[in-house]
Amino acid sequence: MTSGGDSPGMNAAIRSVVRACAYYRTECIGIYRGYQGMIEGDFVSLSARSVNNIIHKGGTILKSARSNDFRTEEGRKKAFENLQEHEIDGLVVIGGDGSFTGGVVFNSEYDFPVIGIPGTIDNDIYGTSHTLGYDTALNTAMEAIDKIRDTASSHNRLFFVEVMGRDAGFIALNAGVGAGAEEILVPEEDLGLERMLESLKKSRRSGKSSSIVVVAEGDKSGKNVYQLADYVEENMPEYEVRVSVLGHMQRGGSPSCFDRVLASRLGVKAVELIIDGKSNLMVGLRDNKVVATDLEKAIKGQHSIDKELLRVSDIMTT
């Protein structure tokens, strides 16, 4: 099943799980709408042929939904009864930390095997260098920033570009460096408004007539992207400031080759772990090898932002 926010690569992961099950002669059942579908018994039998031509599609064919019912003991009990009725022996959850938390609680109450595949564009799950959808979202954001720079240059404007990342600045930092942004604001570092102003003034003095500031939606400045724009306009009236919020376009689109390959590798490993009787684990990528991490550790651990890349970002804005 897929749960939580959608991300590019989820369909590729579904395909991988289904075909790995077919390879190992194991029946595969899809659950529509995540935990809510589990409670309502919204199940479908999946064969190798039923996942033809989905590897390149964004979103998830199994749909996704939040489930308040699953937060209750009664809801989880109904979900367990439905799994028993359909003779389901293990669960592969493709999602983020909220989805994994539900899996851990379910496992602790019913000792039901759960394996997680990290699917979130934020890349904020411990135990893997990349989550499904992150690479695609990163490239989507970078391409959008490239296009915005064309307009910024044509009109001598300063653009604030907000990207997703309420609690993690992976997209902002990497897309900002890749697109040559003049300043990058992320939740992990409180760089201060004065530093941002000084950086923009320095760029102006060096002859730049347009600039791009990439802002993660969870930036620690305490101001949203529109307030940041107003602050700069007040202090640097020579700039014509515009704001562009990329929003959910970052979660859509055809997954990159990297995400398709990663999804294929993680899906196979997830099925093999269940067949081997393992549970409460998340499959992920470390040093380009597929590894398993304790699911609770994946939820509670912190995937730290790359300090070296932050240093590189500072140098690149010179």
Q: Residues comprising the binding site?
A: 5, 15-19, 66-67, 96-99, 120-122, 149, 157, 164-166, 180-182, 208-210, 217, 242, 248-251
Cα(166)–Cα(161) distance, integer angstroms: 14
Which residue numbers belong to the known binding site for Mg(2+)?
Answer: 97
| Burial of residue 3 (number of CB atoms within 10 Å: 0-12, 13-18, 19+) | buried
Buried b (16+ CB within 10 A) or exposed e, 184-206: bbbbbbebebeebeebbeebbee
Token pair for 237: 């009236």
Known binding positions for ATP: 5, 66-67, 96-99
Return the structure tokens found at 105: 């609680």
Task: Provide the residue type at 102 as one letter.
Answer: G
d(CA 208, CA 205) in angstroms, rounded, equals 7
Question: What is the residue whose two structure tokens read 């135990």?
Answer: 127
Q: Any catalytic annotation for residue 219?
A: no
Tell me if 210 sits within 8 A of 149, measured CB to CB. Answer: yes
Out of 6, 42, 122, 135, the active site residue is 122
**H or E, element range at 94:** strand 91-95
What is the residue type of 193?
L
With CA atoms as reference, report the closest residue to 19 among 271, 274, 276, 273.
271
On the CB side of 225, how many CA atoms lie within 13 Å of its CA?
A: 27
3-state secondary structure of 288: coil
List the binding residues for ADP.
15-19, 149, 180-182, 208-210
**Amino acid, single-letter form, for residue 270:** A
Q: Which residues belong to the active site?
A: 122
